[in-house]
Each structure stands twice: as C-alpha cells, then as structure tokens.
C-alpha cells in the first residue's frame, strides 16, 4: 500500500472515530435528557398530587366550618346513597318557597363546598325528587357567570375531582340560570334519558331545555311563573323591563340587553303558558249584576300589575319573533289571535283590563304592519281585531247605575288608527280597493255600535263627534281618489240632532237587517228629519 493510500485510510479512520465520538456524546446527552424528562414528569406529577391534596385539605377544613352552619341532607335515591347534598337553611319569605314537581341532578358536596367557599352560594334548596336542584347565588351576576361559563369551573373542579368523587360528568350539564332581582337561581338539568319519568306531571326534559337561560337586569324582578309555569312556583313583585335594544336580536331569537344576560323565547308554547298563568291570576268573582265582589286585598292594583306584565311580556315576545320566517310568523299570529279570542270570551276579566288589551292589539297590529309585506293580509287581520272590539262593546263598558260609559280609549285608538293607516294605504295604490272595503266594513260596524248604546253623557257625545269628524275627513279623502266608490259614504256626525234612544229603539223594534247600502241610506235620511226616518222604518 502506498503512503498516499495509507494517509487517505488514516484520514477516513480519523473521521469515523470523530463520528463515533460524537455519537456517544449525543447518546449520553440523550440519556441525560430522558432521565431529566422522567424526573421532571415525576416531579410534576408529585406537584399535581400535592396541589390536589392541598385543595382537598383546605376544602375539608372549610367543611368543618360549614357543617356548623348548615344542614346536611342525605340523598336516598339512585346511585347517590353515599353522597351528601348541602342545604343552607335560610329563612325566606313564604312567597319565595319553591315547589317543584320534579328535579334534576344535584351538586355534589365537594362542588357545593367550592362554591360556598367562594361565597357564590348562600342557599341550596334540595328538592325531594330526582331532577332539579336549585342554587341561590349571592355574588354579583357578572362574577357568577364568569365562573359558570369558565372552563376552570368545569375542568378544574369537575374533571380534576372526577375520580375522587366517582362523578360521571354529564355532557348536557350546565343548565338553566334565572335571575330574580339581585338573586340568581341555577337549575341543573339531567340528560333526556329521564324524560319518561316526567310525563306524569306534564313536564319534559326537552321542554325544560327549550327554556334556555332567562336573564333580566339586576334591578328588576321577573315573574318566572308567568312563562315558566311548568316549573310550578310563585313569586311576587312581577315586573318586566321596558327597554330592550331590538338591534341585538340574533338568529336564535334571543334579545340581548347590553349585559351578559338575555331573554330567550324559543318556542310558542311559552306564550300559551304566559297567557294561561296571567289569566288564571286575573280571574275574580263577579256577581249576577256585574259588580265585582269585595276582596281582602287590592284587586285593582293586583289586576293592573298582572296585566302590565302580560302586555310587556307579549311585547317582548313579539319583538323577539320579528325576524322569524313567514311560517313562524303565521304561528305567532295565530297564537296571539287565540289570546284575543280567549280574553274577549272571558267575562271574569274586569273592564279596566281592556284598555291594556287595546294597547296590546295595536302593538300586535303595528308589528304585523312592520313585518308583513302583504299589506292586504295585515289589514284583513286588523279588520277582524276591530270587529272583535266593537262586537264585544258590551264588555268594554262598565255598568254603573244603569249608565253606560263608552270606553274612551277604544274611540281614541280607533280614531288614531283610521287617520294613520288610511294615509299608509293610500300611498300604496295596489291595496287601495282593499282598504275601501275594509273602511266600509269598519264604518258600518262603528255605526251599529253607536246606535246600540242607550245613553250618552255629554263627554261621550264629544268623543263620538270627534271620531265622526275623522270619518268625514277620511271619507272625503278617499272620495277624491275614487268618487264613484264613495259617493254613498256618509257619516253619523249629525245624528245627535235626533234622539239616539228613539232611533235605537225603532231599529230594534223592527228587527231590520240592512245591507251596507240600505243601512247607509237609512243614516243619510237621518240628516233630513226624524219624520222621514219614522216613515221609512214603518214602510220597511
């Protein structure tokens, strides 16, 4: 082998030796790294365990203090025989006592202790059935929702102690949170597996879940039983906030109120629950002569506060549904019309409520006007509402010493609507003919309403004359557009020149059924003389 070859071989061996040395050095480093990682992992594990044990020790110390102040209640149902539920005994007003038919899964003592330790819980009401646990919250709502909505609450508390507690975390857990004044109630719902067990009490887990989370301003108290009647409890001081930012409605029909809390109306059955609840509470006995019987409490105040609630609540409901699709709007419209029908047919309502109903009707009709592109459909519904008002005019009056007092709110509302909506309709020529028919029918109904009343006070006459002035003004406005269709359209403005009682009696005596044209002709003759009217009636 030549020297040159030996030199080259030496260089290759030297390079290989360097590579081997680097390999062993790297392998040594790798071993050290593995050992370090293993040591770090063990230390981390020890630290985690120590942290858990320390938390448990602190909680146990806290429990020693808590146990002196609270009553421990054993849960003797299901697989939870060995776990205690904590119930803080606090004296509450009787009206706030909660009576549930059913209850969902409960807080375990360790979790409850955690919340108590952080001064979130001032009371846990343990219900003696399976499905609902109520937790009364003392801290501010912002802090509470930050806790409930944070991953740390479920991950660190539930997940970390899952093995210790043998607690199976339900994926459908959390729950319902209801705010009443400065207090928050938390409903923890179980899975839908228990739905069959709820049928006996007309409840269902699915319906409970549809309620979502209902939240109101701290400074307000809400009547939970009005639209959560299926949860079966009663509270006083029923108020619903007036102001809502309509622009904050999202695709799920939830109304956000510039806070982390929102009102969610997710199904039409809530409206029915609300109506039934309020109607049941507004009922009161009426004697055969129509006079309200005496009560041991202030009836008027109670009725007014209840009806203010239903009016505001339905307004919220209407607002929350305003972005629905047409099918959803149709369901809502039908629900509200059912409400009107049910209300008008319920003679136990005091007449004072009907001014609120009229307000509600106009809120409803305005909602239709804004949300429905089909103007004819809107006016058809509105015409039906007007007919219902006038048809039930006897309910819209108060019997005081045989004196019939006209509901002035009705007349003012009719007057306002006639003036406002005619202008709207005239601006849309395609609906003009429809409106003529609507206005013609409404005028006919109004005239019958005027003739059906036996007695008018001077103020009543002024009100009717004001309305008649509007009818004249509006009929002339229409006749300018279509003189042929409205050359027969007359008013009752001058009918007070005669005895309304006499006209009404003659009308009833003959039992005359008159078509629109004949009836208007009859009214037109009123402008001439009572003699002509009498002769006409006799001939008929």
**pLDDT computed for residue 490 by the predictor:** 36
**pLDDT computed for residue 165 by the predictor:** 32
- Per the domain annotation, does 333 fall within a domain? yes
Shared domain for 99 and 224, answered yes or no, is: yes
Query: Judging by DSSP bridges, how do beta strands 183-187 and 133-137 pair with one another?
Result: antiparallel
CA dihedral 276→278→280→286, nearest 10 degrees, is: -130
- Per the domain annotation, does 260 fall within a domain? no
- Per the domain annotation, does 390 fall within a domain? no
Looking at 382, 412, 430, which one is the last position of a domain? 382
What would the mean pLDDT of 316-323 be, rounded to a whole number? 50
pLDDT, tens digit, for every residue of 107-123? 333 344 444 555 544 44
- Per the domain annotation, does 286 fall within a domain? yes
Rounded Cα gap, residues 390 and 135, in angstroms: 50
Can you name the residues that pair with 184 across neighbouring β-strands? 137, 179
Shared domain for 401 and 466, answered yes or no, is: yes
pLDDT above 90 covers a percentage of the chain that reads 0
Shared domain for 377 and 435, answered yes or no, is: no
> How many residues in the chain?
540
For the cut 60, the answer to whether the pLDDT of residue 431 exceeds it is no
Shared domain for 401 and 485, answered yes or no, is: yes
Shared domain for 102 and 243, answered yes or no, is: yes
Largest CA distance in the chain: 154
Alpha helices for 452-515 (secondary structure H)? 458-481, 483-486, 500-510
| Contact by Cβ (8 Å): 110, 83 | no
Shared domain for 446 and 409, answered yes or no, is: yes
Contacts of the segment 501-507: beta carbons below 8 A, 24+ positions apart? 501/454, 501/455, 502/530, 503/451, 503/533, 504/451, 504/452, 504/453, 504/454, 506/533, 506/534, 506/537, 507/451, 507/537
The helix/strand/coil state of 499 is: coil
Shared domain for 443 and 321, answered yes or no, is: no
What would the mean pLDDT of 289-306 be, rounded to a whole number? 34
Shared domain for 441 and 514, answered yes or no, is: yes
The helix/strand/coil state of 403 is: strand
Domain count, the chain: 4
Return the closest-CA partner of residue 178 out of 206, 142, 211: 211
| Most trustworthy range by pLDDT among 247-256, 336-345, 423-432, 459-468 | 459-468
Alpha helices for 211-324 (secondary structure H)? 224-227, 269-282, 299-320
**Domain extent for 205:** 87-255
Question: Residues with Cβ < 8 Å from 39, sequence gap 6 or more?
Answer: none
Rounded Cα gap, residues 501 and 413, in angstroms: 25
Shared domain for 210 and 93, answered yes or no, is: yes
- Per the domain annotation, does 458 fall within a domain? yes
Shared domain for 305 and 375, answered yes or no, is: yes
Alpha helices for 192-267 (secondary structure H)? 205-210, 224-227
Return the closest-CA partner of residue 203 out of 244, 231, 169: 231
pLDDT, tens digit, for every residue of 189-246? 332 333 333 232 233 333 333 333 232 222 122 222 222 322 222 222 222 333 333 3
22 or 148, higher pLDDT: 22
For the cut 60, the answer to whether the pLDDT of residue 26 exceeds it is yes
367 or 99, higher pLDDT: 367
Shared domain for 128 and 69, answered yes or no, is: no
């Amino acid at each position: 082998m030549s020297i040159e070859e030996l030199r080259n071989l030496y260089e290759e061996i030297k390079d290989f030796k360097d590579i081997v040395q680097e390999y062993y050095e790297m392998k040594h480093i790798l071993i050290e790294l593995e050992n370090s990682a293993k040591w770090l992992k063990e230390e981390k594990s020890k630290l985690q365990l120590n942290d858990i044990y320390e938390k448990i020790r602190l909680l146990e110390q806290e429990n020693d203090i808590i146990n002196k102040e609270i009553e421990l209640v054993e849960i003797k149902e299901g697989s939870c025989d060995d776990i205690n539920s904590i119930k803080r005994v606090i004296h509450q007003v009787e009206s706030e006592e909660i009576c549930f038919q059913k209850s969902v899964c409960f807080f375990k003592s360790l979790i409850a202790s955690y919340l108590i330790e952080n001064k979130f819980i001032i009371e846990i009401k343990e219900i003696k059935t399976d499905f609902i646990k109520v937790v009364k919250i003392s801290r501010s709502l912002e802090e509470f929702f930050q806790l409930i909505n944070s991953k740390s609450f479920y991950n660190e508390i539930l997940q970390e102690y899952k093995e210790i507690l043998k607690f199976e975390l339900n994926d459908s857990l959390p729950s319902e949170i209801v705010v009443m004044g400065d207090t928050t109630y938390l409903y923890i719902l179980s899975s839908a597996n228990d739905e069959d067990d709820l049928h006996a009490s007309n409840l269902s887990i699915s319906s409970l879940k549809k309620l979502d989370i209902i939240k109101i301003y701290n400074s307000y108290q809400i009547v939970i039983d009005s639209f959560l009647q299926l949860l079966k409890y009663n509270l006083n001081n029923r108020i619903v906030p007036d102001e809502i930012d309509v622009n904050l409605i999202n695709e799920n029909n939830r109304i956000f109120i510039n806070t982390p809390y929102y009102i969610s109306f997710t199904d039409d059955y809530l409206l029915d629950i609300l109506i039934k609840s309020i109607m049941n509470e507004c009922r009161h006995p009426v004697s055969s002569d129509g006079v309200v019987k005496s009560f041991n409490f202030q009836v008027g105040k109670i009725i007014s506060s209840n009806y203010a609630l239903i009016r505001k609540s339905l307004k919220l409901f209407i607002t929350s549904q305003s972005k629905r699709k047409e099918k959803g709007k149709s369901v809502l419209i039908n629900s509200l019309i059912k409400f009107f029908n049910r209300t008008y047919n319920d003679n136990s309502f005091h007449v004072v409520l009907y001014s609120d109903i009229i307000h509600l009707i106009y809120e409803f009709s305005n909602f239709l006007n804004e949300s429905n592109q089909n103007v004819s459909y809107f006016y058809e519904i509105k015409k039906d509402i007007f007919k219902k008002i006038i048809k039930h005019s006897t309910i819209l009056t108060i019997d005081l010493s045989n004196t019939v007092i006209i509901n002035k709110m009705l007349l003012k509302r009719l007057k306002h609507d006639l003036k406002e909506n005619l202008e709207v309709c005239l601006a849309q020529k395609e609906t003009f003919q429809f409106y003529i028919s609507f206005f013609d029918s409404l005028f006919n109904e109004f005239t019958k309403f005027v003739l059906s009343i036996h007695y008018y006070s001077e103020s009543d006459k002024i009100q009717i004359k004001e309305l008649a002035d509007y009818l004249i003004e509006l009929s002339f406005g229409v006749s300018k557009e279509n003189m042929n269709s409205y050359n027969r359209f007359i008013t009752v403005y001058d009918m007070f020149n005669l005895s309304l009682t006499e006209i009404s009696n003659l009308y009833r005596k003959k039992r005359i059924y008159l078509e629109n044209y004949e009836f208007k002709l009859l009214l037109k003759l009123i402008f001439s003389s009572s003699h002509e009217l009498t002769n006409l009636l006799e001939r008929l």
